[in-house]
Amino acid sequence: MSDTVIELKKAVKQLQTAVNDQEIIAILSTLKQKQITEVILRESKIGLAVGKLRQHASKPVADLAKEIVKHWKTAVEKAKTKPAGSANAAADKKTTNSATTPVTPSGNSANAAVRTAKGDGVTGKTGDKTRDKCVEIIYDALAIDATAPIETVSQKAHEIEKCVLNNMKGVTPEYKAKIRSLFVNLKDKSNPSLRASIVEGSLSPEKFSKMTSQEMASEERKAADEQIQKDNFFKSLSAAEKQAETDAFQCSRCKQVSYKPLWCPLSQR
């Protein structure tokens, strides 16, 4: 295990135990200067730790985490596009240096670096054309902003598809509808924590395959839905109260009481 990996593993623990935003930002600022490769990301798990922070309640923390993930992702993708080393030592050195030099991504390069099953050379291994296609679209959704190795993302995509197949008792219309629902929620760019939790293993494919759209929603979406429900509830109360006030009736004795009080002193005598 390299010194860089050991150092990054320590950084993962520091992020997990950080007590305030300033401490997290200080750690992230140090990580931003690191030269990252796919091997280092895989062995240290630092990509998953930083990826989680993109949904942090603090905007400065979330923004910095997003910037670092894009930065690392571009560096890894750039390294993949470099040709294999030649026999010339000078050329090898130049290629290695170019592959490990961090590059600040522009808008166009960030879009070009989006991972897909086709781009990563991933295909379904089920032997069924429909199932293989479903594996590939689940991979596409999981890999949108992933820094995890191809093998890890591919394994998760296959496991999710297999769970849905078992739950729906085969390639049925219900199977296709469920795959579509999972895909739509997974690819939601405002919900990176859902993708990260699956790739890192904190959310199992079996549990994920049974989740509803409401359960898969981002925390921001859940909060918005909850607020809508509260607003609708209070609106319904207001409407009911207004109806009670306008639905007047007369007491059989005093002839003066509206519906809202619901009782008349004279009628109790």
Q: pLDDT tens for residues 54-98?
A: 888 888 888 898 888 888 888 888 877 765 444 344 444 444 444
Model pLDDT, residue 152: 92
What band does 226 get if pLDDT is binned at 50, 70 and 90? Answer: low
Identify whether residues 198 and 226 lie together within a single domain: no
What band does 115 get if pLDDT is binned at 50, 70 and 90? Answer: confident
Model pLDDT, residue 70: 86
Model pLDDT, residue 179: 94
pTM for the whole structure = 0.51
Above 70 in pLDDT, residue 177? yes
Which of 217, 232, 247 is at the close of a domain?
217
Q: Take residue 31 and report the two structure tokens written for it.
A: 């990580």
Model pLDDT, residue 183: 93
The most confident of 27-31, 86-90, 105-109, 162-166, by mean pLDDT? 162-166
Up-side HSE of residue 49: CA atoms within 13 Å toward CB? Answer: 21
Identify whether residues 211 and 225 lie together within a single domain: no
Identify whether residues 99 and 125 lie together within a single domain: no
Model pLDDT, residue 256: 57
Identify whether residues 213 and 226 lie together within a single domain: no
With 0-12 / 13-18 / 19 or more C-beta atoms within 10 angstroms meaning exposed / middle / buried, residue 148 is: buried
User: Average pLDDT in the 28-50 region?
Assistant: 85
Identify whether residues 204 and 172 lie together within a single domain: yes
Above 90 in pLDDT, residue 156? yes
- State how many domains the chain has: 3
Model pLDDT, residue 101: 43
Model pLDDT, residue 255: 60
Better-scored residue on pLDDT, 182 or 52: 182
Q: Take residue 66 and report the two structure tokens written for it.
A: 């997003």
C-alpha to C-alpha distances, 6 to 1, 32, 76, 117, 124, nearest whole angstrom: 7, 16, 19, 31, 35
Identify whether residues 124 and 224 lie together within a single domain: no
- Residue span of the structural domain in which 14 resides: 3-112
Identify whether residues 49 and 102 lie together within a single domain: yes
Model pLDDT, residue 22: 86
**What is d(CA 243, CA 245) in angstroms, rounded to the nearest whole number?**
5
Identify whether residues 38 and 106 lie together within a single domain: yes
